[in-house]
A and B are shown apart, each in its own frame.
Chain A
């Protein structure tokens, strides 16, 4: 690849052709402020905060958008540049709702940072903030406040490029230009998957998750209520970022202690129901394979596709409603947990389920919607009473006055607190597949999966679509129909990749037996409820922490989890049995396409 040589602030730098001035500056640690730029997204060049002076050019250049060229001489910090940047930030502030003290994103806001950096005087310009902007709180997952929008279009690009959903779009021009939905519908009526990727890509408080933590505080404070909290696998490798830890820190023990100190009655683990999902979903897959291969039942839908990501589930309900039969009928680990907390747990603990408040801590915005889906109350009580994000838990820990780093490591309560490394894997793309293969292969053959240390590397990593094939040999007698079958699996993350996989399924050309889909890039570690910022580098570090966590677990296969063995013995009786069907499986519905 040919290299380009240029000079930035009197320093020489050489960089590959096609890179921008901003890339070149980063390479030599010259900091250029940005706002509309995001590593995950295509170039926009619309906020103009990153302007620099290029020798010979009459006007300034947006460094994020202009390719580096041979011999360029660039100055990033001249009076002309500083004046322009300061003016631009002042203009953004002048159309902004500057009530920072009451903003959820205060202290984690890119506009606030820039405004402080450039010491913006609020009186430089008149306020052109539109009066009477109504906050859109129609969605159960996402809140949209246009008064805090800087119109950088990061959300629009996210929804189009990463997710291919296009729920958000730009409408109007000039002073009327704003971020809108198709036909300006409220978010709950738009074709939105609630994935929350717009939220983690928003630089300000314009897009946030719907917050429910006040209700949870209330329940914690109510002595009659028994609050159980379950935390998703990816929360433990990300929440540290909100509490002063470097990216990729595993803080499981401190997180558990923090929740106990907050007053939660029982701190449990979603990893437990992740393990349970593997048993149910694994058996569902084997049953589908048997019906298709042995009984030649043409009504059986293959490939079977995972259903743990609620953003993905809503996506397929909207976009591929005629293919809902491919989805596993298993509820997500969150909902399985909720259903069991009001039945098995209540029974074991001798607590009236009406007094149990089941709270899920998730890396996710779509989980809030999932928790409120009308059908999710198979025990007669809502499976989950409140779904919170990693960020909300971070805020709660701060509100509780806890000094996180001082906390000792705690352990999950029992029952439903025991888990395996396989359960933890659910947090990263490919994790459900890896966990499922560890169990399914062993169930069928009686031997461990043929990968070093059980690490099924082909399904790991950040490639958009990954696939793998495992030849099944030496089956146990009852699985002899699988002898010699090459089990083909695929993993997709980010809805744009999910759409690609589904186009293949819809065309009847999918070569796979089993597909894992996660709505968010990187899987749950990059979820819409995770700490901000999130980008590829951060996703990789969080994923690495997931794999460390797995390696550190004494048990690493779902079917070995003693609490799982126990719950089947005492309560569920058998996978896909009557009780499972009643509590742990669900149905899907066709939704509008536009």
Chain B
């Protein structure tokens, strides 16, 4: 395992020599394939959590023959415990727009959207004038690309890419069957690249600083750095950009308050790492992947309550269309309550663990599939806290 020391990085929020239009010009001087090759060779993976290789996504979209293609910035940041996209859009919004521009140029899209989480509408006051100005400027550079903002309505599930398209199309935000994937059939049925806010900024920066400075960071499977939202039992709650591959122990040493019992990596749909595993787990795709949410719990916290909170969240935020997720989330919540209150024997937890396995393999989208992560890691590591 390629474990890294904790290292702070400053790429995302770095504003030195970052005149947005200069970066666009630099990109326009390259061939689309060159840009895609650079993103591929950087090893950049999606920063929203799922970690699909960004360059490959762009390549697939470029290869689609269609007069209409779209670039969408997924700013529906809804995972409990993550707030880094808000900060990025607040502090360096131009870099996000540049990333969209570069993608549009690379794949041949003329229209782009920022799908902004409803709760972030307060950003619109600055974002809309900025985008209007930006649109004019890139037209002047000769790039036929136009960005608009689409404001979501507040459902967690709309952060799932295909539900997001449905929502944009004016329909109910429900995930679609996949395949086909967005690069083939996305928004309005057209080839679409949808990237997380942070991913787009890394694309901007890879074009600006080159592949090497990015690629030398991180591990084999997890190149580069990542922005983390740190919360919970810590005196240093906030947003930090760190090199990927850092050990959970290093992370806890830096951010914990000396009494850390567990770290929930990746929010409600992520994994819970208990103290005994801090040493042998790293943060990255070969260890514990995360979209950025890092919640620290000290020994005063009841992990039963933590899990119950997550399940209450899922029970409400499942779109409700597929059986395993809609009913499964209700069963898990009701089930742990029944065990806690002595209405079901502790062995019922095993039944519930099997249920999360069914949800993992049979749910329609990532929401239902990933409930398993937090449920099994909390129940297996803190079983005694679940029992009456």
Q: What residues make up the interface of A, taking CB atoms closer than 8 Å to B?
A: 43-49, 51, 58-60, 62, 65-67, 80, 83-84, 87-88, 91-92, 94-95, 124-126, 128, 150-151, 153, 170, 172-177
Smallest distance from the beta carbon of B318 to chain A beta carbons, Å? Answer: 4
User: Which chain B residue lies CB-closest to A47?
Assistant: B323
Residue among A48, A51, A83 with most chain B CB within 10 A: A48
Min CB distance A436 to B, Å, is 41
- Whether A151 contacts B177 in the complex (CB less than 8 A), given A48-B362, A126-B338, A173-B319, comes out as no
Question: Could you tell me if B361 and A174 are in contact, using CB atoms closer than 8 angstroms?
Answer: no
Residues of B within 8 A of A174 (CB): 314-320, 326, 329
A128 touches B330 (CB 8 A): yes
Residue pair B362, A84 in contact (C-beta under 8 Å): yes
> How near does chain A come to B203, taking the closest CB pair, in angstroms?
27
Cβ A173 vs Cβ B362 within 8 A = no
Assess whether B179 is interfacial by the CB under 8 Å rule: yes
Assembly CA distance A87 to B328 (angstroms): 9
Question: Which residues does chain B contribute within 8 Å of A172, judged by CB atoms?
Answer: 320
B358 within 8 A of A: yes
CB distance B321 to A59 under 8 Å? no
Question: What residue of chain B has the Cβ atom nearest to residue A177's Cβ?
Answer: B320
Can you name 19 A-B pairs with beta carbons within 8 Å?
A46-B364, A48-B322, A58-B361, A59-B362, A84-B361, A88-B324, A88-B358, A94-B327, A95-B330, A124-B351, A125-B331, A125-B355, A126-B338, A128-B327, A170-B321, A173-B316, A173-B318, A173-B319, A176-B316
Residues of B with C-beta under 8 A to A47? 322-323
How far apart are A181's CB and chain B's nearest CB, in angstroms? 15
Whether a CB of chain A sits under 8 angstroms from the CB of B293 is: no
Please tell me if B155 contacts chain A, counting CB pairs below 8 Å: yes
Q: A87-B358, A126-B338 are in contact. List 10 more A-B contacts (CB 8 A).
A: A45-B364, A47-B322, A66-B177, A67-B179, A80-B361, A128-B330, A173-B318, A174-B317, A175-B329, A177-B319
Q: B376 an interface residue at 8 Å Cβ cutoff?
A: no
State A170–B360 Cα separation when bound (angstroms): 25
Residue in B closest to A60 when the chains form the complex, CB atoms: B361
B336 → chain A closest CB, angstroms:
11
Contact of B379 with A by CB under 8 A? no
Question: Measured between C-beta atoms, what is the minimum distance from B200 to chain A in Å?
Answer: 27
B335 touches A126 (CB 8 A): yes
Q: Are B324's CB and A91's CB within 8 A?
A: yes
In the A-B complex, list the 6 residue pairs whose CB atoms are closest, starting with the nearest: A177-B320, A91-B327, A65-B177, A87-B358, A46-B321, A45-B177
A69 nearest CB neighbor, chain B only:
B179
For A150, what are the chain B residues with a Cβ–Cβ distance below 8 Å? 323
Interface status of B236 (Cβ within 8 A of chain A): no
Q: Do B327 and A59 have beta carbons less than 8 Å apart?
A: no
Contact across chains for B321 and A153 when beta carbons are under 8 A apart: yes
**Closest CB-CB distance, B365 to chain A, in whole Å?**
10
Which of A58, A62, A87, A175 has a CB less than 8 Å from the CB of B326?
A175
B98 at the A/B interface (Cβ < 8 Å)?
no
- Which residues of the other chain, A, contact B26 by a CB distance below 8 angstroms? none
CA distance A149 to B319 in the complex (A): 16
Residue from B172, B331, B344, B364 within 8 A of A48 (CB atoms): B364
Given the known interface contacts A43-B177, A173-B157, the answer about A87 and B324 at a Cβ–Cβ threshold of 8 Å is yes
Q: Is A128 within 8 A of B362, CB to CB?
A: no
**Which chain B residues lie closer than 8 Å to A87 at the CB level?**
324, 354-355, 358, 362
For residue B355, which residues in chain A have a CB less than 8 angstroms away from its CB? 87, 125
Asked if residues B320 and A176 are in contact (CB atoms below 8 Å), the reply is yes
- How far apart are A469's CB and chain B's nearest CB, in angstroms? 37
Measured CA separation A84–B358 after assembly (Å): 5
Contacts A46-B364, A153-B321 given: A59-B326 contact, CB under 8 Å? no
- Tell me, yes or no, whether B334 is within 8 Å of chain A by CB: yes
Q: Are B324 and A126 in contact (CB under 8 A)?
A: no
Q: How far is the CA of A341 from the CA of B335 in the complex (A)?
A: 61
At the interface, yes or no: B196 with Cβ under 8 Å from chain A? no
Q: Are A177 and B326 in contact (CB under 8 A)?
A: yes
Q: A172 to nearest B CB, angstroms?
A: 7
CA distance A60 to B326 in the complex (A): 17
- Our pick among A51, A67, A84, A175 for the contact of B320 (Cβ within 8 Å) is A175
| Centre residue among A51, A67, A92, A175 by max chain B CB count within 10 A | A175
CA–CA, A370 and B319, complex, Å: 38
Measured between alpha carbons, how far is A58 from B369 in the docked complex, in Å? 11
Asked whether B323 lies within 8 Å of A175 as measured between CB atoms, the reply is: no
Residues of B within 8 A of A45 (CB): 177, 322, 364
A176 to B326, CA, bound (A): 9
**Taking the nearest CB of chain A, how far is it from the CB of B355, in angstroms?**
6
Report the nearest A residue to B332, measured CB to CB: A125
Q: Chain B residues near A48: list those with CB within 8 A.
A: 322-324, 362-364
What is the CA–CA distance of A242 and B314 in the complex, to the nearest angstrom?
43
| Contact partners of B318 in chain A: CB under 8 A | 173-175, 177
Taken together as a complex, chains A and B put the C-alpha atoms of A104 and B162 apart, in Å, by: 38
Chain A residues within an 8 Å CB radius of B335: 125-126
Shortest Cβ distance from residue A97 to the other chain B in the assembled complex, whole angstroms: 14
Specify which of A150, A151, A173 lies most central, judged by the most chain B CB atoms within 10 Å of its CB: A173
Q: Give the chain B neighbours of A88 by CB distance below 8 A.
A: 323-324, 358, 362
A121 and B316 CA atoms in complex are apart in Å by 27
In the complex, A174→B363 CA distance in Å? 13
Q: Inside 8 A of A153's CB, which chain B residues have their CB?
A: 321
Contacts of A84 in B (CB 8 A): 324, 358, 361-362
Which of B317, B358, B364, B369 is most buried by chain A, counting CB atoms within 10 A of its CB? B358
Q: A173-B318, A175-B316, A175-B330 are in contact. Are A92 and B323 (CB under 8 A)?
A: yes
Please give, as numbers and ranges, the residues of chain B lying within 8 Å of A66 by CB-CB distance.
177, 179
- Is A128 a contact of B316 with CB atoms below 8 Å? no
A80 CB to closest chain B CB (Å) equals 7
Query: A170 — nearest CB in chain B belongs to which residue?
Result: B172
B317: nearest chain-A partner, CB-CB:
A174
Task: Please indicate the chain B residues that have their CB under 8 angstroms from the CB of A59 in the complex.
Answer: 360-363, 369
* Residues of A close to B320: CB separation below 8 A: 151, 170, 172-177
A65→B177 CA distance, assembly (Å): 7
Which residue of chain B has the shortest Cβ distance to A85 in the bound complex? B362
| Closest B residue by C-beta to A126 | B334
Docked Cα-Cα span, A91 to B362, in Å, equals: 12
Complex CA distance for A48 and B335, rounded to whole angstroms: 22
Report the nearest B residue to A53, measured CB to CB: B361
Kindly list chain A residues whose C-beta atoms are within 8 Å of the C-beta of B316: 173-176
- In the assembled complex, the CB of A115 is this many whole angstroms from the nearest CB of chain B, namely 13
List A contacts of B157 (CB < 8 A). Answer: 173
Closest CB in chain B relative to A105 CB, distance in Å: 19
B residues near A67, Cβ cutoff 8 Å: 179
CB within 8 Å of A: which B330-374 residues: 330-331, 334-335, 338, 344, 351, 354-355, 358, 360-364, 369
Rounded to whole Å, the gap between the CB of A450 and the closest CB of chain B is 47
Chain B residue with Cβ nearest A62:
B177
Bound-state CA distance A173–B334 (Å) is 18
- Chain A residues whose C-beta falls within 8 Å of the C-beta of B179 in the assembled complex: 66-67
A83 to chain B, nearest CB (A): 7
For the complex, what is the distance from the CA of A126 to the CA of B339, rounded to whole Å?
12
Give the residue name and chain of the A residue nearest to B369 (CB): A59
What residues of A have a CB within 8 angstroms of the CB of B328 in the complex?
91
Given contacts A48-B364, A172-B320, A174-B320, contact A83 B326 (CB under 8 A): no
Residues in chain B near residue A94, CB distance under 8 A: 327, 331
Nearest-Cβ distance from residue A517 to partner chain B, whole angstroms: 29
Residues in B neighbouring A125, C-beta threshold 8 A: 331, 335, 355
Q: How far is the CB of A47 from chain B (nearest CB, A)?
A: 5
Q: Which residues of A contact B327 (CB under 8 A)?
A: 91-92, 94-95, 128
Nearest Cβ on chain A to B331's Cβ, whole angstroms: 5
Alpha-carbon separation in the docked complex, A142 to B129 (Å): 52
Residues of A within 8 A of B329 (CB): 174-175
Measured CA separation A7–B308 after assembly (Å): 43
A125 to B356, CA, bound (A): 13
Q: Which of B331, B351, B360, B363: most chain A Cβ within 10 A?
A: B331
A88 CA / B326 CA spacing, docked (Å): 11
Within 8 A of A (CB), among B153-201: 155, 157, 172, 177, 179
